[in-house]
Amino acid sequence: MAHPQILAAFEAVEGWMTTEGLTPTGPCREVYFGDWPAAGPDDPVCDVAFPVGPPAGG
Protein backbone atom coordinates (compact mmCIF):
# COMPACT_ATOMS: atom_id res chain seq x y z
CA MET A 1 0.00 0.00 0.00
CA ALA A 2 3.02 2.25 -0.25
CA HIS A 3 3.36 5.00 -2.81
CA PRO A 4 3.92 4.62 -5.74
CA GLN A 5 2.72 0.98 -5.78
CA ILE A 6 -0.78 1.88 -4.55
CA LEU A 7 -1.25 3.96 -7.69
CA ALA A 8 -1.81 0.72 -9.63
CA ALA A 9 -4.89 0.03 -7.46
CA PHE A 10 -6.31 3.49 -8.17
CA GLU A 11 -5.66 3.07 -11.89
CA ALA A 12 -7.39 -0.32 -11.89
CA VAL A 13 -10.51 1.08 -10.22
CA GLU A 14 -10.53 4.09 -12.55
CA GLY A 15 -10.25 1.73 -15.55
CA TRP A 16 -13.16 -0.35 -14.28
CA MET A 17 -15.28 2.79 -13.80
CA THR A 18 -14.53 3.84 -17.38
CA THR A 19 -15.43 0.39 -18.71
CA GLU A 20 -18.71 0.46 -16.77
CA GLY A 21 -19.50 4.03 -17.85
CA LEU A 22 -19.53 5.26 -14.24
CA THR A 23 -18.66 8.79 -13.22
CA PRO A 24 -16.87 9.61 -9.96
CA THR A 25 -19.02 11.92 -7.81
CA GLY A 26 -16.47 12.72 -5.13
CA PRO A 27 -12.93 12.11 -3.94
CA CYS A 28 -11.45 8.63 -3.80
CA ARG A 29 -10.85 6.82 -0.53
CA GLU A 30 -8.43 4.28 0.87
CA VAL A 31 -10.28 2.00 3.29
CA TYR A 32 -7.90 0.11 5.58
CA PHE A 33 -9.24 -3.06 7.16
CA GLY A 34 -6.28 -5.40 7.52
CA ASP A 35 -4.45 -6.67 10.54
CA TRP A 36 -1.22 -4.82 9.75
CA PRO A 37 1.02 -6.62 12.29
CA ALA A 38 -0.10 -10.04 11.02
CA ALA A 39 -0.37 -9.20 7.31
CA GLY A 40 2.05 -10.68 4.82
CA PRO A 41 3.22 -8.89 1.68
CA ASP A 42 0.40 -10.39 -0.45
CA ASP A 43 -2.43 -10.16 2.12
CA PRO A 44 -5.24 -7.69 1.40
CA VAL A 45 -5.24 -4.82 3.88
CA CYS A 46 -6.88 -1.95 1.98
CA ASP A 47 -9.60 -1.19 -0.56
CA VAL A 48 -9.55 1.71 -2.97
CA ALA A 49 -13.00 3.21 -3.46
CA PHE A 50 -14.61 6.03 -5.45
CA PRO A 51 -18.18 7.23 -4.97
CA VAL A 52 -19.86 6.87 -8.36
CA GLY A 53 -22.97 8.01 -10.14
CA PRO A 54 -25.10 6.09 -12.61
CA PRO A 55 -23.73 5.13 -16.01
CA ALA A 56 -23.59 7.97 -18.50
CA GLY A 57 -26.98 8.40 -20.14
CA GLY A 58 -28.62 6.28 -17.42
Digit-by-digit pLDDT tens for the chain (58 residues) are 778 888 999 999 999 999 999 999 999 999 999 888 898 888 889 999 999 987 666 5
- C-alpha–C-alpha distance, residues 57 and 1, integer Å: 35
Nearest to 7 by CA among 42, 39, 46: 46
Give pLDDT, residue 49: 94
Q: What angle do CA 17, 58, 15 make, to 5 degrees?
A: 10
Give pLDDT, residue 58: 58
Q: Report which secondary-structure segment, H or E, holds 30.
A: strand 29-32
Give pLDDT, residue 36: 82
Give pLDDT, residue 57: 65
Segments making up each domain of the chain, as ranges = 7-49
Coil, strand or helix at 38: coil
